[in-house]
Amino acid sequence: MNRRRLLQAALGLCLAWLSWAIAPTTALALGGPQIPIGNLAPEFTLPTNAGDGEIALADFRDQWVVLYFYPRDFTSGCTVEAQRFERDIAEYQTRHAQVIGVSADSVESHAEFCDAEGLEFPLLSDPKGKVSKAYGSWLGAMSLRHTYIIGPDGTMQARFLGVQPVIHSQEVLAALDELQRGV
């Protein structure tokens, strides 16, 4: 691994740990202001390694969306997080929820990551952080480890800022259950 990628990976791990360690509960988080719960989620269209090459939030109207941002493909925490989402993908499908990952990595990197890890859900490429910034999940040159649940009507329903990759998918499923009971 070249020195630059090693430094990027180390920075990503440090930022992920810092994001988890401070676990903010206010609407301002490391990465920027957060969309208030109940407000419309920012619309986006980004390139992907899956399907027709682009995915928009509007493509998933009338179903739940689990939009998760992560620092880098192939890093340890990001790999564990993606593996857990993939392991639980049938559970998300029974809840009519689509899992979508976003990072600054290229479409090509996402394709390699999906192939290596057997990921079936789409990963979106946000190299300049435009969408990550809109969601308050951007720091420097990478997305932070944040997750948002967006309701079928396009509104922000829940957010996770202090993500622990090993247990995160189960936390999101539990939140989906609670939100869907209240609908």
Q: pLDDT of 119-177, one tens digit each? A: 999 999 999 999 999 999 999 899 999 999 999 999 999 999 989 999 999 999 999 99
Identify whether 114 is a catalytic site residue. Answer: no
Give the DSSP H or E segment for 122: none
Is the model's pLDDT at 78 over the cut of 50? Answer: yes
Average pLDDT, the chain: 88
36: its two tokens? 């208030």
- Could you tell me what percentage of the chain is helix, strand and coil, using 3-state DSSP and rounding each to the nearest 5? 40, 25, 35
Give the amino acid at 116.
A
**What pLDDT sits at residue 31?**
83
Euclidean distance between the first and final Cα of the chain, in Å? 48
- What's the topology of domain 3-181? Glutaredoxin (3.40.30)
Q: Among residues 15, 35, 78, 123, which one is catalytic?
A: 78
Q: What's the whole-number mean pLDDT along residues 71-97?
A: 97
Is the model's pLDDT at 6 over the cut of 60? Answer: no
Share of the chain above pLDDT 90, in %: 78
The DSSP secondary-structure symbol of 104 reads S
Q: What's the whole-number mean pLDDT along residues 99-109?
A: 97
Strand partners, 155: 40
**What pLDDT sits at residue 73?**
97
Is the model's pLDDT at 92 over the cut of 80? Answer: yes
Taking the C-alpha atoms of residue 143 and residue 154, their distance in angstroms, rounded to an integer, is 22
For residues 82 and 163, is the Cβ–Cβ distance under 8 A? no
107: its two tokens? 């479409």
- Domain spans, the chain: 3-181
169: its two tokens? 């998918």
Q: Binning pLDDT at 50, 70 and 90, where does residue 4 land?
A: low
30: its two tokens? 């490391």
